[in-house]
Structure 1
């Protein structure tokens, strides 16, 4: 009997204010260094989605978010490569405590606020798909699948 399919679950946080969203420049990670991403990470075993998103925001940009103030903005089914897919859960923080700062300088070069409708050219495609889905009020998107047309 074959084992059931499993996928990595990612949680992404959209912090927005004054018409802009917060992006982080990856540095020293070996994956898309120099490119922009949202505060994000992997869901931990046994962790509710909104709690994982709040944890990642705290770890990466030092803000405190009550998980109850995170609204699901979009789901992106991302095919990273032929043998690896991920499900990205994109949450919007309705409010948070603290001023965002670079809490992981060993993984992040800088923080940058950007217009979500005019994403910088060095934004990683996968989180950009989630931001576009949120902007378009689309609940689901897929990225990297050959049949997406």
Structure 2
């Protein structure tokens, strides 16, 4: 029996969170997002401030910390696991992915653009007022974080029910 197998591509994402400016009742949480450019994937979309592929022999936690250092020059992240998302694009088995999403409220350094060829802007946004457009699968996770309903395992892009697709 021949099985059609594919390689799953792992990636790690980091959402930096902070309390926003105080308002009546306290500051609303904000998330740091980057505006993608010249990457060939979702250019001109807002995305996690730091994200990238998990390298051979690296854990998703290690990849998240490495990407944060490489892309926005922050370290000492205290990561909180948000969800693992199995994702595909249009059912193309060649494009199966597993994305590990983390958030953090604790880090050292001041976030800055390290790769200006790939990042046009880096800005804080209230979770209730995200920019448009945001990379769709990342937006699904952010909405789940806002609602407090992100399951430890989620899917995106599959025709079967049970995912968090729009």
Q: Work out the CA distance in 2 between the residues paired with 1:144 and 1:117.
A: 24
Aligned to 2:161: 148
Q: Which moved more, 1:43-52 or 1:71-80?
A: 71-80
Aligned to 2:85: 76
Aligned to 2:63: 52
The structure-2 alpha-carbon separation of the partners of 1:3 and 1:45, relative to structure 1 and needing over 3 Å to count, comes to: farther
Q: Aligned to 2:58, what secondary structure does the other structure show? A: coil
The structure-2 alpha-carbon separation of the partners of 1:56 and 1:120, relative to structure 1 and needing over 3 Å to count, comes to: same
Q: Work out the CA distance in 1 between the residues paired with 2:55 and 2:82.
A: 20
| Unaligned stretches of 5+ residues in structure 1 | none
Q: Work out the CA distance in 2 between the residues paired with 1:124 and 1:148.
A: 21
The structure-2 alpha-carbon separation of the partners of 1:148 and 1:112, relative to structure 1 and needing over 3 Å to count, comes to: farther
Aligned to 2:11: 10
Deviations 1:76-130 (A, max 9, x none): 2211241211111111124100110001101000101112233222101011122
Task: Find 2:52's aligned residue among 41, 49, 67.
Answer: 41
4+ aligned runs moved over 6 Å, structure 1: none
Q: Aligned to 1:57, what secondary structure does the other structure show? A: helix
Q: Work out the CA distance in 2 between the residues paired with 1:46 and 1:53.
A: 14
> 2:107 aligned with 1:96, yes or no?
yes
> 2:36 aligned with 1:30, yes or no?
no
Q: Work out the CA distance in 2 between the residues paired with 1:34 and 1:5.
A: 29
Say if 2:81 and 2:102, in contact at 8 Å, map to a contact too. yes
**TM-score, length-scaled by structure 2:** 0.80
Task: Find 2:140's aligned residue among 129, 138, 141.
Answer: 129
Q: Work out the CA distance in 1 between the residues paired with 2:97 and 2:128.
A: 24
Structure with larger Rg? 2
The structure-2 alpha-carbon separation of the partners of 1:34 and 1:49, relative to structure 1 and needing over 3 Å to count, comes to: same
The structure-2 alpha-carbon separation of the partners of 1:143 and 1:3, relative to structure 1 and needing over 3 Å to count, comes to: closer
**TM-score, length-scaled by structure 1:** 0.89
Aligned residues: CA RMSD? 1.8
Say if 1:40 and 1:53, in contact at 8 Å, map to a contact too. yes
